[in-house]
Amino acid sequence: MRRRTTAPTPVSAREAIADLAPARPVLVESRSLLRTARLTLRPLREIDRDEYLRVVRASREHLDRFSPLHRPGESDDDLFLRQLDLTETGDRNGTGWRRVGLLDDGRIAGAFNLNAIRRGLCLEADANWWVAVDCVRLGLASEGVRAMLDYAFMDLPRGLGLHRVFAGIQPENEASLRMAARLGFVRVGGGVSSYLHAGGRWERHDVFVADAVGQVREAAE
């Protein structure tokens, strides 16, 4: 991916600390678990209920703008059960790969999901992600999404063997747009947009795509 040269801009202490983490995952232990410098990505489990609900309650206002998790009228407990079922069903049927990212102290930092995995002539999936309110501006979203993409594009049987991963991002979500560009996502040709339903409302999302060839090129630069 070609990078522009710009004048340096001041960074906060939190951003400077985030830059110390290696850019790419350091270990793939199994098909169900990934490790990066600061995160363990694994399936959501029943034992995560209390911590997941803590994060959801603390982060709800933070997430509701761009990444609403609840359906209208859905309780926190029902949300957890639905997310647990989506994780288990996706793994069982090969239609999804949904992981929570845990810090070394056991806190859930966010979630990184590949949905609607399609295995035709071109192997594709749709991605989404979110980060807890107490974990923003630490580079953890980039770390988790990069690990997810690396695993998605890794050849079978070590990875998912996908060719392309799509992501819908709201035009006002500047932080996600910047991060997606850094990680090799590009706007789908023709400026494709789609209205996606989340949190009981329809919102316009611009459609971006990352592909296996682009990720290999970026890793070599």
Instruction: Spell out the domains of the chain, with CATH numbers in brackets.
Output: 13-161 (3.40.630.30)
- What per-residue confidence (pLDDT) applies to 5? 34
pTM: 0.83
SS (H, E, C) 59-122: HHHHHHCCCCCCCCCCCHHHHHHHHHHHHHHHHHHCCCEEEEEECCCCCEEEEEEEEEEEECCC
- What per-residue confidence (pLDDT) applies to 68? 95
- What per-residue confidence (pLDDT) applies to 30? 63
- What per-residue confidence (pLDDT) applies to 63? 96
Tokens of 41: 């990505």
- What per-residue confidence (pLDDT) applies to 10? 44
State residue 59 phi and psi, 5-degree precision: -105, 0
One digit per residue, the tens of pLDDT, for the chain of length 221 reads 333 333 333 434 444 434 444 455 545 556 689 999 999 999 999 999 999 999 999 999 999 999 999 999 999 999 999 999 999 999 999 999 999 999 999 999 999 999 999 999 999 999 999 999 999 999 999 999 999 999 999 999 999 999 999 999 999 999 999 999 999 999 998 777 775 656 566 677 899 999 997 664 455 45
Kindly tell me the sign of the dihedral angle through the C-alpha atoms of 57, 88, 207, 78: negative
Residues 215, 184: Cα–Cα separation, whole Å: 7
